[in-house]
Structure 1
Amino acid sequence: MDQLALIIGLLLATVVAVGLGDRLRLPYPVLMLLLAVALTFIPGFPDIEIPPELILPIFLPPLLFATAQRSSWAVFRVRWRTLIMLAVALVVLSTAVVAGAAWLMIPGIGIPAAIALGAMVAPPDPVAVESVAGRVHMPRRLITVLQSEGLFNDAAAIVIFQAAVAAAVGGTRIGPDVVLKFVVGAALAVVVGIAMGWLTSLVTRLVASMVARSAVTLVVPFAAYILAEEFHASGVIAVVVTALEMQRHTRPQDAAERETRTAFWDVVELLVTGLAFGLVGLEIQDVVRTEGSAVFGMAGAAVVVCVLVFAVRFGWLGLLAVSARKQKNLLQPTSAKEVLILTWCGMRGLATLALALALPVALADGTPFPARDQVLVTACAVLLATLVLPGLTLPWLMKVLNASQDGTEERDAARLLARRAQAAAVAALKDHELVKELPPEKVALVKEKMTRLHAELLDGSLRNESLAEKRERGRELAITVQTIALDAARQEVVAARSEPDMDPEVADRVLRQLDLRTMIMPE
């Protein structure tokens, strides 16, 4: 009962943290982490025990799914080089550098355990990045780079970590089969994700209840993750691909369902994020409390690893910026300012904590896992350094660098897409039989604006009918014309969302306005 009360308390604290974060202009996940750490100092505060092997399956699927829903296949087709360089190459490089430093500094750690430590601290967390970057008006191009990186880098880190732990426990070496395992696992995960996306789309079309269709989307991420793991594939990639496939199968006419699902997932994402980072704070304090005064003796190596994590990311992004300028690639950082911002946004989170807690206590022969205490303390130090420090100082950094945007670029893109939608609506009206029944002046009015049609089309042009019949006929005609226009407009926006140069979030914003207008239209 104590653990249930603690979970409920953390959920309520999440709501408070959101309100406080809005006032202070600080990311609520960071506030939740700090609040949870502070709560553990209260005498008699209950402990919460979640098996380490359940942390990733419980929290990663819904959070990855929520983030991936805001992207599209087109984004990854355009950014695949950047994605490989950040989500795979940078993870491997960070793992190698941290492992080398740990092997030199930490007595008796051994190469496999050092590699495990490197894999833990290598992948930035997409949830933390999303919640922090969105509040400081970061350019959308940089946010998209961070989102794309964060959706896939956990997969590479988890494969490396599992191979390193297996080598440490079994007393073997890590071989080149790790690369093959990653490639095969990723390929299988894509197949699982595509199959789950198709199956979900089929199920949602067969289920009549809109509430049930929204509920299915909560079950699907967990199902995709578990199924992929059963096939020894990447659950992370399977969840992301499932979300992208479901977005690809979305239908323009499902306006009410999109609104219901969006509201549902906004609540789920907020509560799960707050709970996850609250538990991160509790676990960090638990690690520190378990180690006691020995933590101070481990601080030196932990600080060095923290500095290396930032330095490697800064250096690698700097190389990408130089190559981007030579190739005129705007899908990567192109200036020192952008490199610094993206470095500061390399926040670690759930994956780092879950992998740290998943470390075995002993090896196959019963001896303690090499330097396990030092590895845990170092991982927690990196998590705090990369999450709390940037989370609290990013608004200041953006102000100093004068890098914040006022949203003009997004508004212009939305305005351009809205014009496309309006043109599609007008074109559909031109070719429809019912429009020919309208007077010419009303056709012109529809072309200029698709608002207030109900009142404006109720005129007396139908001379051979009674006043009541004229009004009813005008009302039906107005609704029909508006339906035709909105259907064509939504179709245009849904198609535009899959275009390579279209920001999915801009398309979603315009589509939501059309959906809302459809839902308030009289029947």
Structure 2
Amino acid sequence: MHVFDIIALFIFLAGLFIFVNTYFLKLPSSIGLMIMAIVLSVIILIVGLIFPSLQIGAVELEEYDYAEVLYHVVLSFMLFSGALNIDFKKLSKQRTPVLILATTGVLISTFVIGTLVFYMLEFVGIELHYLYCLVFGALISPTDPIAVTKTIRRFNLDKELEIKIAGESLFNDGMAVVLALTLLDIAHAGEDHALSVFETVYIIGADIGGGIFIGLFLGYLGYRLLKYVDNDAVEVEILITLAIVMAGSFLADFIHVSSKQAAVVMGLVIGNEGRGEHVTSAAGDYVFKFWNLMEESLAAMLFVLIGLEMLVIPRRLDYFSAGFFAVNIVLLGRWISVYIPIKLMSVKRSFSPSTIPVLTWGALRGGLPIALSLSLSDFHGKDIIVTMTYIVVACSVLYQGLTVPLLMKMNFTEKKERKVHGH
């Protein structure tokens, strides 16, 4: 199967899934796409068992190394699009709690999930180095802001709570991806020799610091070009944003720093400078709409990809049992990563009583952890990480996604009752 045939297959199935979900299932996009991806996996596996000759397609899919495409294109595009939507002005008074939740929360979540997964895997008899367990903890930490905010807006929740949830989801993507890839670099470097503290700090500093520098430089360059280009030339403005993302990825990889951090910073610079009065609404409107469409399309294709990926990963009972254990560990890690910062911040700030449960249960996982797990370079244990990621994301989208409205409704009802009793 040719590479373009595979890409065409992904695009066709993604478009078909979106059509079926929009006009027939009418579910939130992430839930509908995940259901159809699971159904697709099951159908293909059953057909493969009945007609073994059709399993050739799975072998051809496995031979195609799409990890490079995911790493260099999909991840950078998704992170840039997510950062582009972060408006610092809208965060206003919630800026501090959002930044603390998105940074400290990700660090706590990574450590808690990675440590518990390490001991859980030992319990079920699977060997995985502790650093790779931390990589899993980091890559599974980002939440899907699109799925969560679409659900929140259907209910009259506290506006400050809505800003916290949406802002934290948008910020934690970049933080979690950079942390996961940095931990992976440390793990690979540690395979050759034991790393000193200086070498570890150097890897972290070079990855993050270099990525920030490239992101600031290209982000400002992109902003100046957008300001210079005639606002009627919408296609030129979109091509400028595409060019700087691709250039940032190439330049960062060339000098061995974090291209994902660069994509996040570029998105933040253009997203906030581009909303200023000195850039007209044409640039903001069409550029932002294009990147929102890009993010939705890539997420749809990722759900198709993870459905097809189930054809080539080992179907081992211990791997799947570890995945279902990981579902509960990830939920616990999320609760701890929300509980600790909020309790510490509660000394000087007031939080809605529903903040912790909504932030915990409303933290749906989306396409980003899938893309990141599949784009990891090969190492002993990658299959178990991909399997656990698939199961955690599937359970998060289906179980949490279908029950989040109930949690929102409970909080909405309680809020109304408090108002009635107050009067």
TM-score band, normalised by the shorter chain?
0.7 to 0.9
Output the CA distance in 2 between the equivalents of 1:83 and 1:157.
20
Q: Which has a greater percent of helix?
A: 2
Residue deviations 1:474-517 (CA, integer Å, cap 9, x gap): xxxxxxxxxxxxxxxxxxxxxxxxxxxxxxxxxxxxxxxxxxxx
TM-superposition CA deviations, 1:51-78 (whole Å, max 9, x none): 2233132222222222322223456896
- For residues 82-161 of structure 1, what are the structure 2 equivalents within 5 Å? 82=97, 85-105=100-120, 106=122, 107=125, 108-126=127-145, 128-129=147-148, 133=152, 139=159, 140-141=162-163, 142-161=165-184
Shift of 1:39: 2.0
Distance (whole Å) between structure 1 residues aligned to residue 326 and residue 295 of structure 2:
31
Kindly report which structure 2 residues correspond to 1:157-306, keeping only aligned pairs within 5 A, or say none: 157-167=180-190, 169-170=191-192, 172=194, 175=197, 177-208=199-230, 209-246=233-270, 247-249=272-274, 250-252=276-278, 254-283=280-309, 285-286=310-311, 290-292=313-315, 294=316, 296-306=317-327
| Correspondence 1:47-86 to 2 at 5 A | 47=58, 48=61, 49-74=64-89, 81-82=96-97, 85-86=100-101
Deviations 1:419-460 (A, max 9, x none): xxxxxxxxxxxxxxxxxxxxxxxxxxxxxxxxxxxxxxxxxx
Instruction: Identify the residue that residue 40 of structure 2 maps to in structure 1.
Output: 39
**Residue 64 of structure 1: SS of its match in structure 2?**
helix
Instruction: Name the counterpart of 1:391.
Output: 401
CA distance in 1, matches of 2:183, 2:98: 18
Out of 380, 384, 392, the position equivalent to 1:374 is 384
User: Residue in 2 aligned with 1:29?
Assistant: 30
The 3 A distance-change label for structure 1 pair 110 and 197 is closer
Distance of aligned partners of 1:265 and 1:304 in 2 relative to their CA distance in 1, 3 Å threshold: closer
Listed as ranges, the gaps of 5+ residues in structure 2 are 48-53, 417-423
Larger of the two Rg values belongs to structure: 1
- Higher relative contact order (Cα pairs below 8 Å, separated by 6+ residues): 2
What's the CA shift for 1:156?
1.7
Q: Distance in 2 between matches of 1:282 and 1:181?
A: 34
Aligned partners of 1:214 and 1:195: how far apart in 2?
18
Deviation by residue 1:159-202 (Cα, 9 ceiling, x = unmatched)? 123322443x4364585644443344333222212211221133
Q: Find the aligned partners of 1:218 and 1:399 in 2 and give their Cα distance.
A: 40
CA distance in 1, matches of 2:40, 2:194: 42
- Say if 2:346 is the partner of 1:325: yes
> Could you say which residue in structure 2 is the equivalent of 1:506?
none
Structure 2 counterpart of 1:273, which letter? A
Measured at CA, do residues 381 and 7 of structure 1 come closer, stay the same or move farther in structure 2, by a change above 3 Å? closer
The residue identity in structure 1 corresponding to 2:173 is G
TM-score where L is the length of structure 2: 0.78
Does 1:343 pair with 2:346?
A: no
Percent of counterpart pairs with the same letter? 21
Amino acid of the structure 2 residue aligned with 1:211: E
Tell me how far apart the structure 2 counterparts of residues 137 and 400 of structure 1 sit (CA, whole Å): 11
Output the CA distance in 2 between the equivalents of 1:264 and 1:112.
Answer: 37
- Distance in 2 separating the partners of 1:18 and 1:399: 24
Q: Quote the Cα distance in structure 2 between the aligned partners of 1:233 and 1:77.
A: 32
The offset of 1:132, in angstroms, is 5.3
CA gap of 1:214–1:243, structure 2 versus 1, over 3 A, is: same
| Deviation larger for 147-156 or 395-404 | 395-404
CA distance in 1, matches of 2:221, 2:414: 41
Give the counterpart letter for 1:148 in structure 2: F
Match for 2:358: what amino acid? I
SS in 2 for 1:402: helix
Q: C-alpha displacement at 1:232, in angstroms?
A: 2.9
Change (3 A) 1:356 1:245: closer
Q: How many residues are paired up? A: 387
Q: Cα–Cα, structure 1 residues 267 and 75, in superposed 2: closer, same or farther, change >3 Å?
A: closer
Q: Which amino acid aligns with 1:279?
A: L
Q: Determine if contact 1:136/1:398 at 8 Å carries over to the other structure.
A: yes
CA contact (8 A) 1:33 1:280 kept: no
For the structure 1 residues 77 and 404, does the alpha-carbon distance in structure 2 shift closer, same or farther, using more than 3 Å as the test?
same
Which of structure 1's runs of 4+ aligned residues deviate more than 6 A? Answer: 75-78, 403-406
How big is the alpha-carbon RMSD for the aligned residues of Structure 1 and Structure 2?
3.4
CA gap of 1:171–1:356, structure 2 versus 1, over 3 A, is farther
Tell me: CA distance 1:235–1:119, structure 2 relative to 1, closer, same or farther (3 Å).
Answer: same
TM score, norm. by length of structure 1: 0.64
CA change 1:35–1:62 in 2 (3 A) is same
Partner SS for 1:328:
coil
Which residue matches 1:12? 15
Distance 1:405 1:149, change over 3 A: farther
The letter for the 2-side match of 1:91 is V
